[in-house]
Structure 1
Amino acid sequence: MAPLLTKTEYARRTFFDVAPSSVHIKDLIHKETRYNDRTSDLVTGMLLLAVYLKVITKVEASWYAAPFTIGARLRVSVYQHEGNAFLGPDGQPMSIDGQLFHGSGGPALPSQYTFETMRDAPNFQQWLDQTLYRGTNSDDSDWARRGEVPPKRKVNGARVDALASTISSSATSAPSSSRKRERSRRSSSQKHKSSKGKKDKHRHKHKKS
């Protein structure tokens, strides 16, 4: 199970954004230093689109452990729509699973296209190449240009563990009220047992005399 992330913890994350058509999706998922950052609507939208088209897997998208939980599910309770917007083929912010990815520009008229209908756009292929492949193609990543193979990784355990560790240390330094109540209850119980033991001992001595 992925660790919970509070709004405060999410807001403390470093912000990661990219310029439109500047990063290839296959390079984006291998930016190791950014996996625990909160992401812009453009970055998040790119990852979700790539998952939908099966260009990357849900596991790979979930390496970005701040915006996503396991299975590339958006952390809707903490996610912030900021940075560059994720625009559809018609140049308007796309709506994905009920979330309008308008970025820092604020609410705007949503795109008439969705992931289900985007192929109907006359400029679909051009838009896709610009959005995911920086205007080239699916095989033209920096890794491919260098003739290298991206390192294989297992499920984002290390990313999630690192995030969980941060959250855990924060929780340890600031115990919840429920933990405080539990400690108070245990302390009262111990005092009660101690007091009862003294009374029983006193009664025993009284009987002997």
Structure 2
Amino acid sequence: MTALLATFFFCAGIAHAQERTSDQRGSFGVPLQPFSLHETTDAWPRTEPIRVAYYAPRSQPALAPRAESVEDEDDLETTNAFPEISSNRPAVAGDHAILRNGIAYAPSHAPDNIKNAIWAVNTLRRKPYVWGGGHGSFNDTGYDCSGAVSFALHYAGLLEAPLPSGDFRHYGRRGRGRWITIYSRNGHTFAIIAGLRLDTTDLRDGGDVGPRWYAGGRDTSGFDARHPAGW
């Protein structure tokens, strides 16, 4: 009897202990942990911002555009139009010829005979000055002033035989022309054709260099201005 009672109390003690353990677990059998709604996260380490170092180049001041040098002021264009080059007949839009590297560009609005005169004179730009040159023949090894002007007029269809400077003082009509003006005096002749000067004298050194185009004019004091009729 005593052994039976001892066994009963032993089993009852085990059951009571299991019941207390079950009360301390949740419905899923996991031990519950105490917590508080007033707890803060001070226990967790605070996140510091990440600082990144990088190289920022200093701004450089803008450089002024570099001016381009011009070797020969006579090669400056008299218009901003871009020349249209076609074989050995360079042309430019408008009413005025331009000069580039010693070559004249005929204006597109000029009559064909004026263009032909300009293109023909371009072939003389390396010819030397020769007194009396261009008078025995329009095609010569060198030219003087009136010989060069005679050459231009011939290829414009406006002159059949070369003339000396004195005879140009009575050529054509008095005054300046629309496309061609001839300035003549005893001893020298030059012409303005579509705005460019055809001359054998280089005014910079005063010497005779042969037939050349120039963008600038010259003093016409003492010269008679003449022009072909209608031109």
Q: Which has the higher helix share?
A: 1
Point out the structure with max Rg over C-alpha. 2
Higher relative contact order (CA 8 A, sep 6+): 1
TM-score, scaled to structure 2: 0.21
TM-score, scaled to structure 1: 0.23
